Amino acid sequence: MRAQARIGFILLLMPLILWLGLLIIIPHIDMFLISIRERISFGVYETSLTHYQKALTEPLYLRTFWRTAVMSVLATVITLLIAFPVAYYIAKMARGRLQQVLFLLCLIPFYVSELVRTFGWMILLRETGIISHLLQWAGLADQPVEMLYNDAAMMVGLVYTSMLFMVVPLVTTLESLDDSVVEAGYDLGGTGLSVLREIIIPHAMPGIVSGCIVVFMLSLGNYLTPTMLGGKDSLWFTEMIYNQFIVRSNWELGAAFGFMLLVLSSVIVWGMLRLTGRTLQETLG
Amino acid sequence: MAPDLECVDLVKKFGDTTAVDNVSFSVPPGSFFSILGPSGCGKTTIMRMIAGFLDPTSGDIRIKGNSVLNTPPNKRPVNMVFQHLALFPMMTIAENIGYGLRRKKMPQAQIARKVDEALDRIGLPGIGRRKVNELSGGQKQRVAIARCMVLEPDVLLLDEPLGALDLKLREHMKVELKALQAAFDTTFVYITHDQSEALVMSDQIAVMNAGRFEQVGNGQDLYYRPDTPFVAGFIGDANRWTGRIERAEGKALQLRTSTGLAIRATATDALAEGDIAELFVRPEAIRLAGNSGDLGDFENRLQGTVTSILFNGAASRVLVQDEAGETLEVTLPQSGEFSSLQRGDRVHIGWGAAQASCFKGAA
């Protein structure tokens, strides 16, 4: 009986173990091993940290690395600022059917692939696109306006792609906030701002933190949006990894980049949790 | 002295439905005023209008003589204890109580002193650093009151705050709330659907039904001298009959029910012979006796059979069926005299005409 239960438990655990082992742990160990070897000549390798050294000294690599980090944080902050009022409206102000419809509206863009969604922005923003035509038609511009291929366009794309992942956790936590707690905040003399700061935001904190972590990771690891909407100067770190692996066939450097990205996201997520005084355990519920 | 709270011709309509229909009342300073009514009668709507979360359709709300209609809820000198208390779960007890004071921009040291005073006042000193979910139901209750009372409001509104507590604690909190009200010497406006809460604690009770006040008075008024059939039926229990007036001499009436039972009663409304009337007799107003001689000079005397005994400790009742087939609820005295009473026993019952209130019924 006991032995049977044990086998059942192991069988139930198997998909998780396989998933973690085959797709995450083994590739990462392999990646790490690749990243610390140096090719001396054909088929001859030596262990060295030369690729990390290269990544950390080459200005272009380093600049892209930090830019990607800062831009991802910025995209997360902008997403939070836009998603919070949206989520508050859906969770607390909309009632019944309207609530469901609004929630669905947030979800609908995700029915089409990310590529098509991003292409939608290109149709809007490009030189011969809709907005450019509208501006000319309204007389606000006397020649076609190019709004693509810059940081702003890329930021728009990143925020748009991440929106749902911020709205969903926020709506969930805000829905659990009792209306009378907010009313009590006003009743006891609070203004809109102080109720937001002292009651609503502290209550929504688990949602804010988990939403931010997800959005940050998605932005950091995004490849499509920076490539399609970003300009020559908007190089994203994932593009560099792609280039090393696929274009230059330099797996060693690519693996080193990959590991740097992993360390970066871990450090920033850890910092975010420290900053808000939460543990990963609390945030994941 | 101006009343602490005064509502004048208050009306609130939601679309076509009138939730509060022309309600006027005033609450003298330092008193405990209850609004008692079944759920959905509009009592919470009144409270939310006083607190400022709803705007009345028409009418005026005055606090210490000044209209507060254009004052937002956070500026009104009233505070509210919510039905589920609405303590802030993300704050400690001290932060909860200090919340309103922080909003008033009071210096930190003074807030700390006031919070400590308030905690002493509610008999829970030293719990300031605890979290809300570490407290018991009764303690949360007291913290919710303290959180409002530190602001020294002119009027404290309480919206069925005992609803979530279990029976034993509710009984205890009734006494405690009354004591807290006396200790803080503030006007309390209390909303409830539980008549015993209202009767025990209040100086004045307004009985509300379908958006209107049926009667305003103290507990004794409502219990002994109900103005309307609704109040007679809502406060306490009652045996209830509908019948036709056979004889009317001033206030003294005789009514015959549809089953043919003749009852002597006292008129509350103006009633004439031939009118349809509703009659209420409380189970505790009916005396149970072994023989008719014990019923003294009661105007109404009946003989009947015990059909069932509803044992409920002090509130035990017996159901007695008379010869005409009417079943009456009669309070079973716990003096030992009727401890051997059984189903099927023959008993005599009687009550005075003054204990039978008669109201004009729907024709």
Inter-residue contact A155 to A75 (CB < 8 Å):
yes
**A207 touching chain B per CB within 8 A:** no
Provide the CA B278 distance to its chain's centre, in angstroms. 22
Of A187, A194, A198, the CB nearest to B73: A187
Dist CA A137 CA B19 (whole Å): 54
Query: Are B88 and A190 inside 8 Å of each other by CB?
Result: no
**B79 touching chain A per CB within 8 A:** yes
Instruction: Give the pLDDT confidence of A45-55 residue by residue, as tens digits.
Output: 888 888 888 88
Read off the tokens for B156: 């404290």
Dist CA B245 CA B24 (whole Å): 34
Inter-residue contact A91 to A175 (CB < 8 Å):
yes
Read off the tokens for B166: 């279990």
Query: Are A187 and B74 inside 8 Å of each other by CB?
Result: yes
Dist CA B179 CA B185 (whole Å): 10
Partners of B13 in the beta sheet? B18
CA atoms within 13 A on the CB side of B87: 29
What pLDDT, on the 0 to 100 scale, is given for residue A1? 63
Which SS3 state, helix, strand or coil, does residue A176 take? coil
Look over chain B and give the mean of its residue pLDDT values, rounded to a whole number.
87
Instruction: Give the pLDDT confidence of B28-70 residue by residue, as tens digits.
Output: 988 999 999 998 888 889 999 999 999 999 999 999 888 888 8
Query: Are A188 and B74 inside 8 Å of each other by CB?
Result: yes
Query: Are B88 and A187 inside 8 Å of each other by CB?
Result: no
Inter-residue contact B95 to B145 (CB < 8 Å):
no
Measured CA to CA in angstroms, residue B192 lies from A132, B235, B322 at distances of 64, 13, 37
Dist CA B200 CA B223 (whole Å): 12
Residues in chain B within 8 Å Cβ distance of A183: 51, 53, 73, 80, 82, 86
Measured CA to CA in angstroms, residue B263 lies from B246, B266, B286 at distances of 10, 10, 13
**B270 touching chain A per CB within 8 A:** no
Residues in chain A within 8 Å Cβ distance of B86: 178, 180-181, 183-184
In this structure, of A35-39, A205-209, B106-110, B292-296, the range with the lowest mean pLDDT score is: B292-296
B22 Cα to chain A: minimum distance (Å) = 25
**A206 touching chain B per CB within 8 A:** no
Could you give the dihedral angle defined by the CA atoms of residues A206, A209, A210 and A211, in that order, rounded to the nearest 10 degrees? 120
Task: Pinpoint the residues of chain B covered by CATH 3.40.50.300.
Answer: 5-232
Q: pLDDT grade, residue B1 (50/70/90)?
A: low
Inter-residue contact B206 to B25 (CB < 8 Å):
yes
The CA-based angle A29-A30-A35, given to 5 degrees, is 100
Report the length, in residues, of chain A: 285
Of B74, B84, B148, the CB nearest to A180: B84
Q: A 168-187 residues with CB below 8 A of B?
A: 178, 180-181, 183-187
Burial zone of A271 (CB within 10 Å; 0-12 exposed, 13-18 middle, 19+ buried): exposed
Dist CA B88 CA B94 (whole Å): 11
pLDDT at B120 over 90: no
Dist CA A71 CA A237 (whole Å): 11
B176 Cα to chain A: minimum distance (Å) = 23
Inter-residue contact B133 to B122 (CB < 8 Å):
no
Q: What class, spelled out in words, does domain B5-232 have in CATH?
A: alpha beta
Query: Are B74 and A191 inside 8 Å of each other by CB?
Result: yes
By DSSP bridging, strand B204-209 and strand B32-36 are parallel
B86 Cα to chain A: minimum distance (Å) = 5
Query: Are A190 and B74 inside 8 Å of each other by CB?
Result: yes
Dist CA A19 CA A17 (whole Å): 5
Inter-residue contact A191 to B74 (CB < 8 Å):
yes
> Best of B103, B115, B132, B191 to disrupt the A interface by mutation (most A CBs within 10 Å)?
B103
Provide the CA A12 distance to its chain's centre, in angstroms. 31
Of A178, A186, A203, the CB nearest to B74: A186
What pLDDT, on the 0 to 100 scale, is given for residue A278? 67
Of B225, B177, B226, whose CA–CA distance to B202 is shortest?
B177
Residue-by-residue pLDDT tens, chain A, 285 positions: 677 888 888 888 888 989 888 888 898 898 888 888 887 777 778 888 888 888 888 888 888 889 999 999 999 999 999 999 999 999 988 888 998 899 888 888 888 888 888 888 888 888 888 888 888 888 888 888 888 888 888 999 999 989 889 999 999 999 999 888 999 999 898 888 999 998 999 999 989 999 999 999 999 988 888 888 887 777 888 888 888 888 888 888 889 998 888 998 899 888 888 887 766 666 555
Dist CA A242 CA B65 (whole Å): 75
CA-based max dimension of chain B: 77
Residue range B224-231: mean pLDDT, rounded: 87
What pLDDT, on the 0 to 100 scale, is given for residue A170? 94
Of A37, A18, A14, whose CA–CA distance to A26 is shortest?
A18
Residues in chain A within 8 Å Cβ distance of B44: none
Residue range B180-205: mean pLDDT, rounded: 88
Residues in chain A within 8 Å Cβ distance of B99: 185, 188, 190, 198
A280 Cα to chain B: minimum distance (Å) = 18
What pLDDT, on the 0 to 100 scale, is given for residue B57? 92
Residue range B227-252: mean pLDDT, rounded: 86
A96 Cα to chain B: minimum distance (Å) = 18
**B71 touching chain A per CB within 8 A:** no
Query: Are A190 and B99 inside 8 Å of each other by CB?
Result: yes
Domains in chain A (CATH in brackets) are: 51-284 (1.10.3720.10)
pLDDT at B266 over 80: yes
Task: Pinpoint the residues of chain B covered by CATH 2.40.50.100.
Answer: 237-360
Q: pLDDT grade, residue B327 (50/70/90)?
A: confident
Which residue shows structure tokens 């210490």?
B64
**A191 touching chain B per CB within 8 A:** yes
What pLDDT, on the 0 to 100 scale, is given for residue B362? 65
Spell out the SS3 assignment of chain B.
CCCCEEEEEEEEEECCEEEEEEEEEEECCCCEEEEECCCCCCHHHHHHHHHCCCCCCEEEEEECCEECCCCCHHHCCEEEEECCECCCCCCEHHHHHHHHHHHCCCCHHHHHHHHHHHHHHCCCCCCCCCEHHHCCHHHHHHHHHHHHHCCCCCEEEEECCCCCCCHHHHHHHHHHHHHHHHHHCCEEEEEECCHHHHHHHCCEEEEEECCEEEEEECHHHHHHCCCCHHHHHHCCCCEEEEEEEEEEECCEEEEEECCCCEEEEEECCCCCCCCEEEEEECHHHCEEECCHHHHCCCCEEEEEEEEEEECECECCEEEEEECCCCEEEEECCCCCCCCCCCCCCEEEEEECHHHEEEEECCC
What pLDDT, on the 0 to 100 scale, is given for residue A279? 64
What pLDDT, on the 0 to 100 scale, is given for residue A117? 86
Q: pLDDT grade, residue B163 (50/70/90)?
A: confident
| Residue A278 CB contacts under 8 Å (≥ 6 apart), including other chains | A205, A206, A209
B153 Cα to chain A: minimum distance (Å) = 10
Query: Are A189 and B82 inside 8 Å of each other by CB?
Result: no
- What does A90-113 look like in DSSP terms, one character per residue? IIII--HHHHHHHHHHHHGGGGS-
Residues in chain A within 8 Å Cβ distance of B75: 189
**B14 touching chain A per CB within 8 A:** no
Query: Are A185 and B88 inside 8 Å of each other by CB?
Result: yes
**A278 touching chain B per CB within 8 A:** no
**B89 touching chain A per CB within 8 A:** yes
CA-based max dimension of chain A: 82
Inter-residue contact B213 to B27 (CB < 8 Å):
no
Fold held by B237-360: OB fold (Dihydrolipoamide Acetyltransferase, E2P) (2.40.50)
B203 Cα to chain A: minimum distance (Å) = 25
Of B89, B96, B186, whose CA–CA distance to B133 is shortest?
B89
The Cβ of residue A231 has, within 10 Å, a number of other Cβ atoms equal to: 15
Could you give the dihedral angle defined by the CA atoms of residues A8, A9, A11 and A14, in that order, rounded to the nearest 10 degrees? 180
| Residue B178 CB contacts under 8 Å (≥ 6 apart), including other chains | B32, B200, B201
Inter-residue contact B251 to B266 (CB < 8 Å):
yes
Of B290, B279, B268, whose CA–CA distance to B350 is shortest?
B290
What pLDDT, on the 0 to 100 scale, is given for residue A283? 59
Of A178, A188, A198, the CB nearest to B79: A188
**B163 touching chain A per CB within 8 A:** no
Of A243, A213, A66, A79, whose CA–CA distance to A157 is shortest?
A79
Which percentage of chain B shows pLDDT scores above 70?
99
B216 Cα to chain A: minimum distance (Å) = 28
B201 Cα to chain A: minimum distance (Å) = 24
Residues in chain A within 8 Å Cβ distance of B51: 183, 187
B137 Cα to chain A: minimum distance (Å) = 17
What pLDDT, on the 0 to 100 scale, is given for residue B171? 85
